[in-house]
């Protein structure tokens, strides 16, 4: 029989284990996710501290060291650049510092565009899902129409119309990413709206606004967070894809996409130009995906 605690007279209040605490504990117990968070933290720290770590500036040209391999490069190369850990590029700029500056841009694009899509998507999806009926139908048909626009044409047209610039990249990517977020949030809202505890809250006299803020949103946050961690790498990839096509970041500023694009051109003569940015990007994407995976498992252990 379960003790009902009628006789217990303790003044100490037991601190409950909330679902969030449980999820965090499970996330930190997931080795892949934990390692990913540490690595990602290191990359982010390197990106922020880049100018302090290297004596070279990212746009400092040195015509004496054109496409030189790092000093430790195991294969014989045309020239070696001592002191440049990742070697130098076609105009003699230090690759290490450029990769870290690329990380700044790529991570910033990833985070900002995801944030934009998060705000628009959550609001749009929650409103559509909660109101339901015709309004929901209309709002989601708009999403369907936007979905069917070919993304690359959309970006090219934007670039041609407004000239290439950094901000436009956020807008273009954000404009596409929020659609999926809106759909996910709407679906979640619809299913939570059916739950008995929402009815219980209505029976308790809580108004619609209270229900959305106190019951719907906290219960939507879990799946949304998972989707966010999986969106960031998608956005980073998209940026690099646009940069690879020459639609993204402009010189001398750089991003991983631009560096990989440049490196691919000289893959045979100077492989390090491709190797290092590609390695950084791949590791970052892996980390985000592992974290996203770990978060999904942590938030919903039954669905494993």
Q: List residues binding other proteins (CB under 8 A).
A: 1-2, 4-6, 8, 10-20, 26, 29, 195-197, 199-207, 210, 214-215, 218-219, 301
State the greatest distance between any 2 C-alpha atoms of the chain, in Å, as a whole number: 85
Round the CA-based radius of gyration of the chain to a whole number and report it: 25
Strand partners, 69: 80
Quote the least distance from Cβ 12 to other proteins, whole Å. 6
Considering beta carbons, is residue 19 or 77 the nearer one to other proteins? 19
Considering beta carbons, is residue 82 or 194 the nearer one to other proteins? 194
Considering beta carbons, is residue 161 or 209 the nearer one to other proteins? 209
Considering beta carbons, is residue 94 or 136 the nearer one to other proteins? 136
Q: Helix (H, G, I), strand (E, B), or coil: what is residue 271?
A: coil
Which contiguous run of DSSP H or E holds residue 18?
none
8 A C-beta contact, residue 167 and residue 190: no
Can you read off the two tokens belonging to residue 236?
């980073």
Compute the distance between CA of residue 294 and CA of residue 296 in angstroms, rounded to an integer.
5
Compute the distance between CA of residue 293 and CA of residue 299 in angstroms, rounded to an integer.
10
Indicate the DSSP class of residue 16: P
Pick the closest to residue 112 from 228, 258, 249, 261 (CA basis).
228
Q: Is 82 exposed, middle or buried (0-12, 13-18, 19+ CB in 10 A)?
A: exposed
Quote the least distance from Cβ 297 to other proteins, whole Å. 10
Considering beta carbons, is residue 8 or 167 the nearer one to other proteins? 8
Quote the least distance from Cβ 139 to other proteins, whole Å. 21
Strand partners, 81: 70
Which phi and psi (to 5°) does residue 15 adopt? Answer: -80, 125
Quote the least distance from Cβ 122 to other proteins, whole Å. 16
Report how far Cα 1 is from the mean position of its chain's Cα atoms. Answer: 49
Quote the least distance from Cβ 229 to other proteins, whole Å. 20
Compute the distance between CA of residue 103 and CA of residue 56 in angstroms, rounded to an integer.
16
Compute the distance between CA of residue 269 and CA of residue 258 in angstroms, rounded to an integer.
18
Considering beta carbons, is residue 25 or 78 the nearer one to other proteins? 25
Quote the least distance from Cβ 262 to other proteins, whole Å. 46
Considering beta carbons, is residue 6 or 82 the nearer one to other proteins? 6
Quote the least distance from Cβ 301 to other proteins, whole Å. 7
Considering beta carbons, is residue 8 or 75 the nearer one to other proteins? 8
Site of tokens 């940026």: 239
Can you read off the two tokens belonging to residue 184?
């996910």
Quote the least distance from Cβ 145 to other proteins, whole Å. 21
């Amino acid at each position: 029989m379960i003790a009902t605690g009628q006789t217990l007279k303790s003044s100490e209040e037991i601190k409950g284990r909330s679902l969030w605490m449980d999820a965090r504990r499970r996330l930190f117990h997931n080795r892949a996710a934990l390692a990913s968070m540490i690595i990602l933290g290191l990359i982010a720290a390197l990106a922020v501290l880049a100018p302090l770590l290297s004596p070279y500036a990212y746009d400092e040209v040195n015509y004496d060291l054109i496409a030189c391999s790092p000093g430790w490069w195991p294969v014989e190369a045309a020239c070696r650049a001592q002191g440049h850990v990742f070697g130098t590029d076609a105009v003699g700029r230090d690759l290490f510092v450029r990769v870290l500056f690329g990380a700044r841009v790529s991570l910033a694009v990833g985070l900002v565009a995801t944030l934009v899509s998060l705000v628009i998507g959550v609001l749009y999806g929650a409103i559509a899902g909660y109101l339901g009926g015709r309004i929901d139908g209309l709002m989601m048909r708009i999403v369907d129409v936007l979905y069917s626009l070919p993304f690359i044409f959309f970006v090219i047209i934007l670039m041609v119309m407004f000239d290439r610039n950094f901000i436009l990249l956020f807008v273009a990517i954000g404009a596409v990413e929020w659609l999926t977020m809106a759909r996910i949030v709407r679906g979640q809202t619809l299913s939570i709206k059916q739950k008995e505890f929402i009815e219980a809250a209505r029976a308790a006299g809580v108004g619609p606004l209270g229900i959305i803020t106190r019951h719907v949103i906290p219960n939507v946050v879990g799946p949304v967070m998972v989707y966010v961690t999986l969106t960031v790498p998608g956005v980073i990839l998209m940026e690099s894809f646009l940069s690879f096509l020459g639609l993204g970041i402009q010189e001398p500023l750089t991003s991983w996409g631009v560096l990989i694009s440049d490196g691919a051109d000289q893959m045979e003569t100077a492989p390090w130009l491709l190797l290092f940015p590609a390695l950084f990007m791949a590791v970052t994407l892996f980390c985000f995906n592992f974290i996203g995976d770990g978060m999904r498992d942590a938030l919903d252990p039954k669905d494993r």
